[in-house]
Chains A and B, each alone.
Chain A
Amino acid sequence: MYSASDLKKGLKIEIDGDPCMITNFEFSKPGKGQALYRCKIKNLVTGNTFDKTYRSVEKVDRCALISRDYTFSYIDGQNYVFSDNETYEEALLSEEVLGDSKNFIVDDMQVEILFHNDRALDITLPNFVEMVIAETEPGARGDTATNVMKPAKLENGYEINVPIFINEGDTIRIDTRDGSYSDRVAKG
């Protein structure tokens, strides 16, 4: 248990069984009154945010979050299946939990999955992933400008803006944190 005075921005706590994070924190002590700890809290499962004020005598539950290393195996319907690098146990993550990350998952990718008790909350991919362009308009020959972009499609249908010199069949590196084009991978 945390005391109210232990609370701070970024701390993860448990409220009514759900993992939550304090996104804003303010120590308040009006006039001659009691110390109050005013928090903005985000529920890490639903994404909802709400305000909550703790009195100094109140206790707050700790949140047991662990992350483990997994390897991507296969897609089973709406779920993505990963296997634990140590125990080979499978973990199923829905598209909803994966969010935008689902666009950048490739065979045998090494990922980190964050669990609260047995519930998978979030996934962290490697910062960069290499993927192949499936579809794009051909660029003008000799045009190596990097600031002129055009739309392209990956093999999984994800649409991304790439520089005009990128062609179908090229392998590019994508920053998985924001889903943007990083650079072209030289042909081996």
Chain B
Amino acid sequence: MQPGAIQLRDVLMRGIRTFFYERNYTEVETPIRMETPCMELHIDAEPSGTHFLRTSPELFHKQLLAAGYSRIFEIGKCFRSGEFGPLHHPEYTMLEWYQTDADYMDILEETKLLISKVWNGISNDWKLLTVSDAFLEFAGWDPAGNYDEDRFDIDLVEKVEPAIRTIGGPVVLMDYPVEAAALSRRKKENPLLAERWELYIDGIELANAYSELTDPVEQRARFEECAAQRRAMGKTVYAIDEGFIQALETMPPSGGVALGVDRLLMLIAGATSLDAVLPFRQPLN
């Protein structure tokens, strides 16, 4: 671990909490053990007895939005099985926040304010790049309406992300093909695209945001398709969280984002591996 990383985290956590308290957010705590982790194709939950450890607090937060809480945030540990590397750790600190009557672009503005508050010297020059433009320029094809998951993932990692790293500073990759929408809603003016963005800073993926999908029918269909794909891949299939699906019926239009706090700390510390900021981690070779 890098000297000073403990103090740096303390300063960062205070800064994050102050930012949200000043903006009238309510800090919430939601369960870490759950029976129905959010079903995503490539995110695997760590079993914990009869439950699983959460991969994100998203499903609980949306139930709180439906119950009338309009600005909420949580900082807590999340767990993802099998993810280990310079930028991955199976147990990591996630900051997640939601706002009702907001969309992904409102959340982007708030994210800019947060980052510039907790990170002295971060560039104000945020570049916005649509997925279509980025893939056309750096990989030579447009995945919108022509989505191929495997090709998308490989080109993203081998061509688009290295180009984003070269651009440097904050780069927002936005408007994903609807097949990669996860829990975001379709764009009204183009149903091939979803209102989702990913923030990269200096090429490091840092946050993922949506205009949240509030349609229970479409959400259930997405979960069921994902369940079928997971079953075909031999992965654990999680039960659908009926409380969450039901909550979508009354959830107001909302924007939300999840941000990796350990990665943010790593970037602020000027480091390139989580080894620099996680005190009890066995360093990679």
Contact = CB atoms under 8 A, between A and B. Distances in A.
Given A31-B208, A32-B41, A55 B150 contact: yes
A26 interface: yes
A31 B198 contact: yes
Given A36-B154, A36-B157, A53-B154, A30 B205 contact: yes
B40 interface: yes
A146 interface: no
Interface string B49-84: 000000000000000000000000000000000111
A131 to B, nearest CB: 37
A34 B82 contact: no
Interface string A30-55: 11111110100000000000010101
Interface string B168-187: 00000000100010100000
A9 B153 CA distance: 22
A33 B152 contact: yes
Nearest to A57: B233
Contacts of B180: 31-33
Q: How large is the interface on B (under 10, 10 to 19, 20 to 34, 35 or more residues)?
A: 20 to 34
Interface residues of A, number: 19
Contacts of B41: 32, 34
B86 interface: yes
Contacts of B150: 34, 55
A29 interface: yes
Nearest to A35: B42
A55 B161 CA distance: 17
A35 B235 CA distance: 14
A57 B235 CA distance: 12
Contacts, number: 60
Contacts of B198: 31
B285 A36 contact: no
Given A34-B153, A53-B154, A53-B157, A28 B85 contact: yes
Contacts of B87: 27
A27 B153 contact: no
A35 B40 CA distance: 13
B156 interface: yes
A32 B83 contact: no
Interface string A2-31: 000100110000000000000000111111
A28 B155 CA distance: 12
A30 B161 contact: yes
B225 interface: no
Given A26-B86, A33-B149, A33-B153, 14 more contacts: A26-B85, A27-B84, A27-B87, A28-B85, A29-B83, A30-B156, A31-B176, A32-B182, A33-B157, A33-B180, A36-B153, A36-B154, A38-B158, A55-B150
24 contacts: A9-B285, A26-B85, A26-B86, A27-B85, A28-B85, A29-B83, A30-B153, A31-B180, A31-B198, A31-B208, A32-B43, A32-B208, A33-B42, A33-B157, A34-B41, A34-B42, A34-B149, A34-B150, A35-B42, A35-B83, A36-B153, A36-B154, A51-B158, A53-B154
Closest 8 A/B residue pairs (Cβ): A27-B85, A33-B153, A30-B156, A34-B42, A28-B157, A32-B182, A34-B153, A36-B157
